[in-house]
Chains A and B, each alone.
Chain A
Amino acid sequence: MEALTSRAKAVDRKPMTFLERLYLWNILKGMIITFSHIFKKKPTIQYPEVKRPFSPVFRGLHVLNRDEEGRERCTACGLCAVACPAEAITMEAAERLPGEENLYREEKYAAKYEINMLRCIFCGLCEEACPKDAIYLSETFAPANFNRKGFVYGKDNLLIPNPTTQPEATAKAKGLN
């Protein structure tokens, strides 16, 4: 029969000789192997000080975006919630009142917008579904929390800081600095 791989090795069931039963030679070989590891490079990253960069396609926590004038882009159309396979998104719509044009870009906006990060699988389908470019997945992840409520992110957590009034915070949220 043809061997499946070139590295196949027949099992040797000969009884061990006296020298083999002393195990010394094999142990010595093993010790040489472990000793050589002393000089190997350590792949450890000292985590809180040094962070490993995420890959450019990393999908992390969501942000709700604003436009150049600092207005919220989301129009509460609900397409993201429909697209979401994990049903992690809920929202409540409200109508923009006169005088709020500098706050909301569209006539209808999301008064409440929540993503349950424990349900979310970070697939990014919400980002793809959004017709208004309002939701993006950033390159951070949800920090640990003591209770489940803490993982339901509302607008206060999701909304990106206003670029016109808080340019630095916006840059930070976008990971630009």
Chain B
Amino acid sequence: MTLLSLNIDWILLIEKLALIAIVVFASLGIALYTTFGERKVAAILQDRPGPNRAGPFGLLQPLADGVKMFTKEDIIPSSASKWLFILGPGLAMTASLMTCAVIPWGGTIELFGRTISLQIADINIGILYIFAVVSLGVYGIMIGGWASNNKFSLMAALRGASQAISYELAMGLSLIAVLMLSGSLSLGDIVKQQQAGWWNIVYQPLGFLIFFICALAECNRTPFDLPEAENELNFGYHQEYSSMKLGFYLFAEYINMIMSSAVMASLYFGGYDIPFVNDAELQTHLGNWVALFQVGTLLIKIVFFIFLFMWIRWTIPRFRYDQLMNLGWKSMIPLALVNMLVTGALVLLKMNNWHF
């Protein structure tokens, strides 16, 4: 009775739950096909046709992979710490899925007389939330590597943690420049500002570059896939994993990729903003369809970034560990700092009525 008398907006709750379900399942579905895309892109860049046997054009390949993963024997090494061993992949997966809560997937739609925002939670500290969750993702690697009770996995976990910490710094610094421009920590606001004016990439090309490189590092994608390093660490932190636990780790990587692409698109490329079109004006003509187009636009941007991720992966080899640290601490952070200072100075000048 107490719950009901609290005057909860039940419809809002249902609406959000539906949105969460849609977003999570859509992310999973896209991630499934990202694995397929990865193999196809790799193949095409290497003059091969890629998987083409399962279904038309090999489109059922991800399902076949899934069935394979599920039917493999699930091994927990006898010397592993059992609970942590199970917790690791779960944590990696949860952390990567949690990011999707604050990403604005589209504008608003009118349904049954309600205005529904296509963002699960427009919290005013959206960016900080993303940062917190991304940092949690490292725990997946750490715990997995530690619980395996294996020297190589432990090494990989150490590498993963130090890499993530180093690159999070530069990432944060490059973000501050964007935040200074927008004056808001809410992703929804940042996108709306870009809809009104230019995209942030125009003001922050260097910031975007730094952010992008750091995103590569955060997702453990080549050239920063040192925690996996199959030729030196035998696949690193997921060496002892098999079956669906391994699948979760691999899957989390792809979901991370999608989410970081979405964040990059939202921060620097106008999010769901349809380029060269005044969205607000369109909405008066087309109504709900605009939201759909906006989601489509965001998806196209995401796909572009994912392709960029893959393209880089299949082009360049992995960094050496010292190169990685040098790049992070001696190049990325100074550059991000300079970028931040210059942006700050310009913002201040503009506030004091300078014209340029």
Contacts and interface: CB of A to CB of B under 8 A. Distances in A.
A22 B47 CA distance: 29
A18 B331 contact: yes
Given A30-B316, A31-B312, A34-B311, A23 B327 contact: yes
B331 A21 contact: yes
Interface residues of B, number: 17
Contacts of B278: none
Contacts of B312: 27, 31
Per DSSP, are chain B's interface residues mostly helix, strand or loop, or mixed? Answer: helix
B49 A42 contact: yes
Contacts of B335: 22
Interface residues of A, number: 19
Contacts of B47: 37, 40-43
Nearest to B52: A46
Given A34-B45, A37-B46, A22 B327 contact: yes
A10 B327 CA distance: 26
B327 A34 contact: no
B129 interface: no
A35 B44 CA distance: 9
Interface string B40-63: 000011111100000000000000
Contact of B314 (A22, A34, A41, A43): A34
A159 B181 CA distance: 84
Interface string B17-56: 0000000000000000000000000001111110000000
A17 to B, nearest CB: 11
A165 interface: no
10 contacts: A18-B331, A21-B331, A24-B209, A30-B315, A31-B312, A35-B311, A37-B47, A42-B47, A43-B47, A44-B49
Interface of B: 44-49, 209, 311-312, 314-316, 326-327, 330-331, 335
